[in-house]
Structure formats: C-alpha cells, structure tokens
Amino acid sequence: MNLLLCTNGNPDTRPALEYGAWMAEAGRTLFRGVVLLGVVEKSARRPDVEALLGETADRLAGAGIPYERRLLTGRPEKVIPPLAREGGLTVVGPMTPRLAWAHALCELLAATETPILHVAEAHTRLGRMLLCTGGLRYAEGVIRTGGHLAQAFGATVTLLHVVEPVTLEYPVANQVKNRWSHLLETDTPQARRLREALETLGEMGVAAEVRVRHGPVVHEILHEIREGEYDLVGVGSPYAARSLRRLYRPNVAVEVAEAAGRPVLIARAPRNRQDEQDEQD
C-alpha cells in the first residue's frame, strides 16, 4: 500500500501531514512508498505549500523513510484523484474554510476510488478502531482497509451498525426494528453482512466485536466515538456518488469527518453492475 500525503499550504492540513508521517514510520510493514503532494492553487501560496512539504520531508528523512515529492497546480479535488488512483491510502486535511471544504471533500470522494483518510486533528496512536458498517455492502472497502491498518498497528476493531428509525412497513425492516438489540441473532441481510465482516477480520487475525445502536445514523456514530474513545473511525461510502440517493440521504462520510475529532477513514465499496445503474438513475 502506498501513502499519499497532501497539502495546499493551509495550516489546517498540518495535522494530516503529521499523522501521515507518523503512520509511515509506525506502519513500515504496511506502506511501500510515500508521496508528498503539494497542491498550488495560487502562486502566492507556493511558499506556504513548500514550507509544509519541507517540514514533512525532514521528518520522513529523519526516520529513514524514502519518499517522492510532487508539486502540482490546480484545485485539490481535481489534482489529488489522478495520483490517488495509483493505489494506496490518501491522507488529507481541511484545505479551505469549513463550508467550502465540505463541498470540496464531496467532490474528492466522488472522484477517488481508493481510500481517503481525513485528518483534522492528529492523534498519533492507533489502538482502537471503530468501523461503521451500515450492515450493507458499502462497508466492504472500509472493512478490508481498516483490517489491514489494524493488522499493521495491532489495533482492535469494533464494528458499529446503527438501526435507523423506520416508518415503512415491510418484513425485513420490521424484524430489524423489533430485534435491533439482538440483531446478530437474526437472518436479516444486515446481520449476515456483520457476520461476514467478523469472519473477514478474524481471518486477518484482527480481534473484533459488534456494537448495535438505534437512532439517527450520524448522531449515533458520534455518540459511540465519544463514549468508546476510539483512535480512528472508518465509514463506508456508496460507489454511486452521483446518484439521486445523495439528494435525500445525508452524506454520512462527510458529516462524520467534519465532527468526529478523530482521523476518519472513508473507503468505497467495489463497483458492480448495480452501482453503475445507480449512477445513471
């Protein structure tokens, strides 16, 4: 796995660079190479970009970690995806003020198929991870990537499924609603996905447990983060980033990334034919 560390010179990206450099040093067995990417949006900001890249390069060199340094011109959401496609993990922090960055992050997620680690605050430890599954295939990417990180850093994993309040009356929804506190004992699609996730992590040698909460998704995820004192949070993201679904569903990944106060791993599910159809809807 390669590691892509990004900055546009905004001081708010420094925690992401610090965390990325720490990961490269502490996770030497996982990461094959490190690329430092400086995004120059305006020529006047070039010195700021080069200064932050220089700080990170000095830290990597001091730890004996080889790296490649690149300086490109453009907007982050346009410049980053082509390099991210080379594989690995992309580490970013807020590059613009909050509202503008939420929009830019949505564009970045839509254009990037490989995992993104959003870091607004650097917590240089990785002992406990929370992976939010949704109980559906959207979480396959985050479970696999989170599992690799847990392997490399010796972390334990908690799988979180949030049962949302539902008003529609159909058999699966009713079964999940009525037995949410014993969800793993049911034969619902959500329970089957959770059992598959536990099996996947077990095969990777990662200790994992399941937590189920009931309520609005983002609200319950943030409550679990605060109560469980996790070091990193992972959320899945649907591949159909441009489908009509985004008009009536909250962008859980972006909302959690903004409010978690922890590094947030966002990984998309593998594409299949149904995803391609969704993007056309």
At which of 118, 148, 182 does a domain end? 118
The tokens describing 143, both together, are 């479970």
Q: Which of 253, 21, 10, 209 is nearest to 115 (CA)?
A: 253
Expressed as residue numbers, the domain containing 87 is 2-118
User: Which residues, in sequence order, are CB contacts of 51 under 8 Å at separation 6+?
Assistant: 9
CA-based nearest residue to 105, from 83, 80, 123, 122 = 80
> Which of 85, 118, 151 delimits the end of a domain?
118
- Examine the domain organization and report whether 99 and 158 are in the same domain: no
Residues 217, 94, single domain; the answer is no
- Average per-residue pLDDT in the chain? 85
What digits encode the pLDDT tens for the residues 220-267? 999 999 999 999 999 987 644 444 344 334 488 899 999 999 999 998
Question: Phi/psi class of residue 69: alpha, beta or left (left: φ > 0; alpha: ψ in -120 to 50)?
Answer: beta
One domain, residues 154 and 52: no
**Alpha carbons within 13 A on the beta-carbon side of 271:** 11
Whole-prediction pTM value?
Answer: 0.87
Tokens, residue 208: 């994992």
Please, which residues have CB within 8 angstroms of residue 240's CB and are 6 or more apart in sequence? 275, 278, 279, 281
Q: Tell me how crowded residue 58 is: count the other CB atoms within 10 A of its CB.
A: 11
183 and 75 in a common domain:
no
Going by C-beta distance under 8 Å and a sequence separation of 6 or more, which residues neighbour residue 90? 4, 6, 80, 83, 84, 112, 114, 115, 116, 117
270 and 158 in one domain? yes
Q: Do 62 and 135 belong to one domain? A: no
**What CATH number should be reported for the domain holding residue 223?**
3.40.50.620
Task: Look at residues 55, 84, 118 and tell me which one is the last residue of a structural domain.
Answer: 118
Domain count, the chain: 2
Share in percent of the chain as helix, strand, coil (round to 5): 50, 20, 30
What are the CB-based long-range contacts (under 8 Å, 24+) for 97-103? Answer: 98/258, 102/254, 102/258
In CATH, what number is assigned to the domain containing residue 90?
A: 3.40.50.12370
pLDDT at 249: 46
Tell me the per-residue pLDDT of 111-159, one tens digit each, with 9 for 90 and over: 998 999 999 988 899 999 999 986 566 678 899 999 999 999 999 999 9
Write down the pLDDT at residue 277. Answer: 42
Whether residue 205 sits in one domain with residue 93? no
Give the HSE-up count for residue 15: Cα atoms under 13 Å, Cβ half-sphere.
Answer: 16
